[in-house]
Amino acid sequence: MTTHFYTATSLDGFIATTEHSLEWLFAQDFDMEGPMAYPAFVDGIGALVMGASTYEWLLRSGEPWGYTQPTWVLTHRELHIPKGADIRLTQAGIVQVHEEMTAAAGGKDLWIAGGGGVAAEFAAAGLLDEVWIQYAPVMLGAGQPLFTGRLDLELVDSARNRDFLCGRYRVRRASTGEAPATRLLDES
Ligand SMILES: NC(=O)c1ccc[n+]([C@@H]2O[C@H](COP(=O)([O-])OP(=O)(O)OC[C@H]3O[C@@H](n4cnc5c(N)ncnc54)[C@H](OP(=O)(O)O)[C@@H]3O)[C@@H](O)[C@H]2O)c1
């Protein structure tokens, strides 16, 4: 069972604009059947987790809820849950959330859908294994960060998917095997 952070980013490391727009991303050309594409990735996922901003963006999109897998939403607020969707709003600790997701995932992998701060929270707890990044050919100059902290990675696969450069990375563990190779910015 592997915990992945899979996301698209601008070349300068932002996953959304400051106003949480993804218009720059959906304007790009990406082959959903191509290398490292999203549909094949999601087939291997048994549970996912996201932060409140990502969840609110999905709700604002007006599309029906798109995931059959159980989904944890990290939030301090009571947010709307679409009818029939398997969504758990939580402010439990990351270790507990990861345990609950693992138990619900039926042996499949876990997906941290974003944002970068949530991925960093899992990494800081030593619970992030892989990072998949689709680099869109655009600079945003500012926006919501890809990651909030340091994380040392090993490139294990790469591909071109139309206009995107795709990288798959394994998280390097600290050599002691104890501390994760990351530190949240607000702890420094
Ligand atoms: N490019 C892509 O492929 C891609 C992928 C995913 C997301 N996105 C976009 O990127 C943006 C990410 O926004 P973001 O950086 O604000 O991150 P986010 O992780 O989506 O949301 C952050 C919020 O989640 C809540 N939260 C985070 N950790 C928590 C914890 N441990 N316990 C309780 N609540 C917690 C807090 O909200 P509250 O305290 O207010 O509840 C926090 O302000 C969104 O616009 C999203 O649509 C893009």
Angle, helices 94-104 vs 116-124, to 10°: value is 90
Residue 178 has pLDDT above 80, yes or no: no
Confidence of residue 174 (pLDDT cuts 50, 70, 90): confident
**What is the pLDDT at residue 177?**
46
Residue 179 has pLDDT above 50, yes or no: no
Ligand 1 contact, 20 CB (< 6 A): yes
Taking the whole predicted model, whether its pTM rises above 0.85 is answered as: yes
Q: Measured in angstroms, how far is the CA atom of residue 115 from the centroid of ligand 1?
A: 5
Confidence of residue 173 (pLDDT cuts 50, 70, 90): confident
Q: Measured in angstroms, how far is the CA atom of residue 176 from the centroid of ligand 1?
A: 31
DSSP state of 126: T
Ligand 1 contact, 51 CB (< 6 A): yes
Question: Which residues lie across from 87 on neighbouring strands?
Answer: 71
Ligand 1 contact, 16 CB (< 6 A): yes
What's the pLDDT tens digit per position in 19-29? 999 999 999 99
State the average pLDDT over residues 158-182: 81
What's the pLDDT tens digit per position in 11-21? 999 999 999 99
Burial 58-86 (b: 16+ CB within 10 A, else e): beeeeeeeebebbbbbbbeeeeebeeeee
Least confident piece of the model among 45-54, 80-89, 121-130, 170-179:
170-179
Q: Measured in angstroms, how far is the CA atom of residue 112 from the centroid of ligand 1?
A: 11
DSSP state of 69: S
Helix (H, G, I), strand (E, B) or coil at 90: strand
CA–CA distance, 177 with 152 (Å, rounded to integer): 14
**What is the pLDDT at residue 175?**
57
**What is the pLDDT at residue 184?**
54
Query: In which order are the strands placed within the sheet that holds 87-90?
Result: 87-90, 71-74, 45-51, 109-114, 3-10, 130-136, 164-171, 153-161
What's the pLDDT tens digit per position in 33-79? 999 999 999 999 999 999 999 999 999 998 999 999 999 999 999 99
Ligand 1 contact, 143 CB (< 6 A): no
Confidence of residue 188 (pLDDT cuts 50, 70, 90): very low
Residue 127 has pLDDT above 50, yes or no: yes
